[in-house]
Amino acid sequence: MTMRPDMAGDPVYWSSALQMMDGAMTRTVTLCVDELMDEAERAAAAAPRRSRLRAQAFANLAKHAAAIAAVERTARYVGWSERECVNIRLSDRVWIFRTLVRACVAAGMEDAATRLADQAAHFAARVHPFADRRMCLERCVEMYLAVGAPDSARRVLEALQKLQRSEMHAADVASAMAMAGLVAEAETIARSIRDPSWKHRALEAIARAYAKTGDMAACRAALDDIPEAGWRAMALAGVAEALALGNASGCQC
């Protein structure tokens, strides 16, 4: 033990004094942390009931509680957040459950983490439109990997890849049919495609086919069926190039 004489010659036990100070500071910090977390809990509870904001707030509280090893708080906030998710969009539930899974993993709540990952996968399979479902399924793969369930992650990934391949194949078939002049059949297939990144390819091919015949009204209608502005912009430019290079006659835009 380190000793140092003070001015009166009596020994002062510095290390013992510092330990007492450290203990007092630790208790002070703990009290401050508890007060802040309690206040955060009250603030989250003040958000509108059954809302995405309230569910997300409790999910984030669970994440922070897990980070400071407050397991009881983590479990409480996970339960509250899960209940608040009942009436919100499926895609929002998946993103919130992702936070909850991470919190449960950090807090050592393996069973709860696995259960939440399974529920998230169930929600993700029902999400529309396709682009949102794809993102949600990708998050589910992350969740399963986080809980140490690689087989489940692989099943979700295989289902996702199969879905993407089927959409790509449908787009290729629709495009080929449009170029062969079977435009009505191509339109039927194009309407069944959910992934906008593939749907726009089929509709652009259909628009080109109509433009080639001089039916610019049908060409415009096909282009207007592309809901996303970015994909529609690319299709419009593609048709414009085809018209210019093909020197199509009788076209009145």
Q: What are phi and psi of 13, to 5 degrees?
A: -90, 90
Tens of pLDDT, residues 175-200: 998 888 889 889 988 988 888 888 88
Provide the pLDDT for residue 42: 95
On the 0-12 / 13-18 / 19+ scale of CB atoms within 10 A, 211 is buried
Name the pTM for this structure.
Answer: 0.65
| Residue keyed to tokens 């049908």 | 218
Angular region, 149: left φ>0, alpha ψ -120 to 50, beta rest: beta
Provide the pLDDT for residue 139: 93
Tens of pLDDT, residues 24-49: 556 777 788 899 999 999 999 999 98
One-letter amino acid for residue 234 of the chain: M
| Rounded distance between C-alpha atoms, residue 100 and residue 117, angstroms | 9
10-residue stretch averages of pLDDT, the chain, 253 residues long? 47 51 65 91 92 95 95 97 95 97 97 97 89 88 94 89 81 88 89 85 92 90 90 90 66 48
One-letter amino acid for residue 193 of the chain: I
Q: What are phi and psi of 19, to 5 degrees?
A: -60, -40
Considering all CA atoms of the chain, what is the largest pairwise distance in Å, rounded to the nearest integer?
A: 110
Query: 114 with 143: CB under 8 angstroms?
Result: no
Positive or negative, the CA dihedral 175, 176, 180, 184 is negative
In angstroms, the Cα distances linking 175 to 179, 185, 186, 190 are 6, 10, 7, 9
Provide the pLDDT for residue 94: 97
- Domain locations along the chain: 40-148, 166-245
Provide the pLDDT for residue 16: 56
Provide the pLDDT for residue 4: 45
Provide the pLDDT for residue 25: 52
Scanning the chain, the segments in alpha helix (DSSP H) are 14-45, 52-67, 71-84, 90-106, 110-124, 130-146, 150-179, 183-192, 196-213, 216-224, 229-246
